[in-house]
């Protein structure tokens, strides 16, 4: 028992967070390139212009992945690097970069997993209305076609969108992320519908132009829930809560069901649909068919969860966290149970093989006097979380785990103030140092999690 023999141990990154070379080799601009330059958006005025300079250092980085024993690497393509205007003209230098990245991974025996969209909306498309424009569905399809044509001879695994909850919610509701807009609710629901359709269109294009049988998935996030006890009523309470939309309107995107039911079940969650229908554009059967274009695997980014019990009134309620509850440096709660209950509930509902496409934490990592980076908190966190994941692996079809992140990187509005990596990055020199957790993770991989 334990993890399947072919369980995939990997790590994840995204293009803007690591690549740098923001104005190089004909790359177009995307919404983040522009957003970071406007004062007040990013902690300490940081930008991703240079980031980890992975664009130039990717060969060295892949050597480090190999040394860590990674079996797979999940990265994203910067749409504007290969299609500077979002559609039309192809930038061959951008294609060459990803092509070489893929070849080098394969030479090192590391399986590439491509995410099409980790929030880098080409600025030219943003100026044409971006996600508000229904044409985005076809634009995203065109981009997916190009990716399939150029890379799918060597890459088999694809995820369409990363965390639509965040790029719609933080990008267009709270305005904390690019493009920093506080749009009316109605607009955000329209965008969400276009986003789901764009996903479906990308799946069609990947299948149609794929050069081999592709394995296609989706990588949303959303709040996980776990029961306070294993009593059936608490489990049921957590199950109801994980698929509900109990958040207030200004935070409506932060849920699982709105973003995954349409794709996996072919319809919006019924109760919520009735409640939000007034904000929705006209939805046709063809829309729903496109959105539900079959996928092969289900990815979920999971960082933490809420503890739920059945209240005396027969309604699920959240159990308040006790004073001094463990938290990571970014202040997120440490709730290992979410890696057991999350996959379990998701598998029950969606019946697709599951990958954890992201999980991890930020710590206040420093280089110690002995020149090493000791991160006992990360090891402790991982030991707890992966232990729970192992329980899940014994019950559901769990295919892989991607740690967020391979290396410290640009943490969006928080700039470089949060360190999520297994590898420490000194941004002054671009030196990389394995943290203790990287060695620890290497052993986990070697033993396929046997000791967890």
Catalytic residues: 163, 358
Q: Is 115 in the site for ligand GCO (CB under 6 A)?
A: no
Smallest separation (angstroms) from ligand GCO to the CB of 333: 14
Smallest separation (angstroms) from ligand GCO to the CB of 162: 5
Build a one-symbol-per-residue string for 419-448: x at contacts with ligand GCO by CB under 6 A, - elsewhere: -x----------------------------
Cβ proximity to ligand GCO, 97 vs 404, nearer residue:
404
Cβ proximity to ligand GCO, 12 vs 235, nearer residue:
12
**Of all helices (H) and strands (E), which one includes residue 76?**
strand 72-76
Identify whether the C-beta of residue 81 lies closer than 8 Å to the C-beta of residue 147: no
Cβ proximity to ligand GCO, 272 vs 411, nearer residue:
411
CA 301 to mean position of chain CA atoms = 5
Report DSSP state, residue 310.
E
Site for ligand GCO, residues 161 to 190, rule: CB under 6 A = 162-163, 166
Smallest separation (angstroms) from ligand GCO to the CB of 158: 16
Q: Is 300 in the site for ligand GCO (CB under 6 A)?
A: no
My answer on whether omega of the bond before 35 falls inside 30° of 0, hence cis, is no
How many residues interact with ligand GCO (rule CB under 6 A)? 10
Q: Which of 146, 411, 433, 438 binds ligand GCO (CB under 6 A)?
A: 411
Build a one-symbol-per-residue string for 355-384: x at contacts with ligand GCO by CB under 6 A, - elsewhere: ---x--------------------------
Report DSSP state, residue 231.
S
Build a one-symbol-per-residue string for 301-330: x at contacts with ligand GCO by CB under 6 A, - elsewhere: x-----------------------------
Residue among 450, 419, 424, 417 at smallest CA distance from 439: 424
Q: Is 388 in the site for ligand GCO (CB under 6 A)?
A: no
Smallest separation (angstroms) from ligand GCO to the CB of 1: 30
Contacts of 19 (CB under 8 A, 6+ apart): 48, 51, 52, 53, 54, 55, 78, 81
Mark the segment that binds ligand GCO (CB under 6 A) among 159-167, 173-181, 194-202, 203-211. 159-167
**Of all helices (H) and strands (E), which one includes residue 139?**
helix 136-151
Cβ proximity to ligand GCO, 95 vs 202, nearer residue:
202
Long-range residue pairs from 362-370, CB within 8 A, at least 24 positions apart, any chain: 362/328, 362/329, 362/330, 362/411, 362/418, 362/419, 362/420, 363/328, 363/329, 363/419, 364/329, 364/419, 365/408, 365/419, 365/421, 365/424, 365/435, 367/424, 367/426, 367/433
Cβ proximity to ligand GCO, 331 vs 429, nearer residue:
331
Q: Is 144 in the site for ligand GCO (CB under 6 A)?
A: no
Smallest separation (angstroms) from ligand GCO to the CB of 87: 25
Build a one-symbol-per-residue string for 262-281: x at contacts with ligand GCO by CB under 6 A, - elsewhere: --------------------
Q: Is 253 in the site for ligand GCO (CB under 6 A)?
A: no
Smallest separation (angstroms) from ligand GCO to the CB of 30: 14
Q: Is 404 in the site for ligand GCO (CB under 6 A)?
A: yes
Q: Which residue is nearest to ligand GCO (CB)?
A: 163
Reported in sequence order, the residue ranges of 79-156 that DSSP labels E, i.e. its strands, are 111-117
**Of all helices (H) and strands (E), which one includes residue 62?**
helix 54-68
Q: Is 14 in the site for ligand GCO (CB under 6 A)?
A: yes
Identify whether the C-beta of residue 166 lies closer than 8 Å to the C-beta of residue 232: no
Quick one: residue 26, left, alpha or beta (phi over 0 = left, psi -120 to 50 = alpha)?
left
Build a one-symbol-per-residue string for 43-82: x at contacts with ligand GCO by CB under 6 A, - elsewhere: ----------------------------------------
For residues 94 and 79, give the distance between their C-alpha atoms in angstroms, rounded to a whole number: 9
What's the token pair of residue 32?
């983040």
Three-state secondary-structure class, residue 59: helix
Three-state secondary-structure class, residue 404: strand
Smallest separation (angstroms) from ligand GCO to the CB of 132: 22
Identify whether the C-beta of residue 163 lies closer than 8 Å to the C-beta of residue 220: yes
Neighbour tally for 417: CB within 10 Å: 15
Smallest separation (angstroms) from ligand GCO to the CB of 109: 25
For residues 215 and 74, give the distance between their C-alpha atoms in angstroms, rounded to a whole number: 14
Contacts with ligand GCO, residue ranges (CB under 6 A): 14, 17, 162-163, 166, 301, 358, 404, 411, 420
């Amino acid at each position: 028992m334990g993890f399947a023999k072919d369980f995939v141990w990997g790590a994840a990154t995204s293009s803007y967070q690591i690549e740098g070379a923001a104005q190089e080799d004909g790359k177009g601009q995307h919404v983040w390139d522009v957003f970071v330059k406007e004062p007040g958006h990013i902690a300490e005025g940081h930008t991703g212009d240079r980031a980890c300079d992975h664009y130039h250092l990717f060969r060295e980085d892949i050597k480090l992945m190999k040394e860590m024993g990674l079996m797979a690497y999940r990265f994203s393509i910067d749409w504007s690097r290969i299609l500077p205007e979002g559609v039309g003209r192809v930038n061959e230098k951008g294609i060459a970069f990803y092509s070489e990245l893929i070849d080098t991974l394969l030479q090192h025996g590391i399986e590439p997993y491509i995410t099409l969209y980790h929030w880098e909306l080409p600025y030219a498309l943003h100026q044409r209305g971006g996600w508000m424009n229904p044409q985005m569905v076809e634009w995203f399809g065109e981009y997916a076609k190009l990716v399939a044509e150029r890379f799918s001879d060597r890459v088999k695994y694809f995820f369409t969108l990363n965390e639509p909850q965040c790029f719609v919610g933080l990008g267009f509701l709270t305005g904390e992320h690019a493009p920093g807009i506080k749009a009316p609710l109605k607009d955000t629901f329209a965008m969400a519908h276009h986003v789901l359709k764009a996903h479906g269109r990308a799946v069609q294009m990947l299948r149609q132009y794929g050069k081999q049988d592709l394995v296609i998935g989706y990588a949303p996030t959303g709040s996980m829930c776990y029961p306070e006890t294993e009593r059936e009523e608490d489990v049921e309470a957590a199950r109801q809560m994980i698929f509900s939309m109990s958040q207030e309107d200004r935070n409506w995107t932060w849920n699982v069901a709105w973003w995954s039911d349409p794709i996996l079940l072919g319809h919006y969650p019924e109760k919520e649909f009735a409640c939000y229908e007034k904000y929705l554009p006209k939805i046709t059967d063809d829309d729903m068919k496109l959105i539900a274009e079959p996928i092969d695997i289900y990815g979920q980014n999971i960082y933490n969860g809420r503890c739920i019990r059945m209240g005396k009134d027969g309604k699920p309620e959240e159990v308040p966290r006790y004073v001094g509850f463990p938290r990571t440096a970014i202040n997120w709660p440490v709730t290992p149970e979410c890696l057991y209950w999350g996959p379990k509930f998701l598998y029950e509902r969606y019946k697709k093989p599951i990958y954890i496409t992201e999980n991890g934490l930020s710590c206040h990592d420093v280089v110690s006097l002995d020149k090493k980076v000791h991160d006992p908190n990360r090891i402790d966190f991982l030991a707890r979380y992966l232990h729970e994941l192992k329980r899940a692996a014994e019950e559901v079809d769990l295919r892989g785990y991607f740690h967020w992140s391979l290396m410290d990187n640009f943490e969006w509005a928080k700039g470089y103030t949060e360190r999520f990596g297994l590898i420490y990055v000194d941004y002054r020199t671009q030196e990389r140092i394995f943290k203790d957790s990287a060695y620890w993770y290497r052993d986990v991989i070697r033993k396929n999690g046997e000791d967890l």
